[in-house]
Amino acid sequence: MTWRATLVTLFPDMFPGPLGTSLAGRALDSGSWALDTVNPRDFATDKHRSVDDTPFGGGPGMVLRPDVLAAAIAKAAPDGDARPKLLMTPRGTPLTQERVRALASGPGAIVVCGRFEAVDERVISACGLEEISVGDVVLSGGEPAALLVLDACIRLLPGVMGHDGSGEDESFERNLLEYPHFTKPQDWQGRAVPEVLTSGDHKAIRAWRKLEALKATRARRPDLFSKYVTSLTAGVDKPPKTE
């Protein structure tokens, strides 16, 4: 079954954008995933094709109208469509690799790209939108965030990365950051590749990579390191000392 993404966006020309190149682009051409867009402006009811209005209670900016946006979402997700409906917003639940894997294993996603100051709050509950954040930043609209979400999902689809095990040791798998990587030349600007990586001892290499992943995670993401330690089963996969 083809993984299908539908974007609700005022700027459909932004897609597929970078998703039309490299691995995602080849996967799109081969039919591993599909993309379509719905423009809320097509559901405006006045001669100016207005999609926003001033906020009740005053304040800066404009708010996307609930009637117009809901009509666009209904077009993107007709009755019976089982795909999750995501709203890209900085106040949403932080996106995680675990959520990405869940999305990639499903039929696809409807992604609503907000614009202006906000989306009318009533649309979120009425349409069952899942609010997602890609970081503690504010963007000019949800489109760049949507590209990030789709890219993260598409690369996990079967066959897209070329090898089913390509993502197993990446950052955030098993609550660890990825270990360092090196390639030729073996000595560059006086900086040598760690000897263990040229030793041919695969057991030692695996142990070194595990240790480096633990060290990086503890130093840079103590929150992840805590999750990793908590997830350990007594006597199984004990983390080596990182000092």
Q: Which domains does the chain have, with CATH numbers?
A: 3-154 (3.40.1280.10), 173-231 (1.10.1270.20)
Per-residue pLDDT at 239 exceeds 60: no
What does the alpha-carbon distance between residue 3 and residue 169 come to, in Å, rounded to a whole number? Answer: 24
Q: Which of 16, 37, 39, 10 lies closest to 154 in space, CA to CA?
A: 16
Q: Which are the contacts of 25, defined by CB distance < 8 A and separation ≥ 6?
A: 16, 19
Q: Which amino acid is located at 235 in the chain?
A: G
What pLDDT score was predicted for residue 156? Answer: 97
Given the structure tokens 């590209």, which residue do they identify?
A: 147
Which uninterrupted H or E stretch holds 3? strand 3-8
Given a contact cutoff of 8 angstroms between Cβ atoms, the answer to whether 211 and 240 are in contact is yes
CA gap 192, 208 in Å, rounded: 16
Q: What would the pLDDT profile of 22-74 be if each residue is shown by its tens digit? A: 999 999 999 999 999 999 999 999 999 999 999 999 999 999 999 999 999 99
State pTM to two decimals: 0.86
DSSP state of 164: T
pLDDT > 70 in the chain, percent: 91
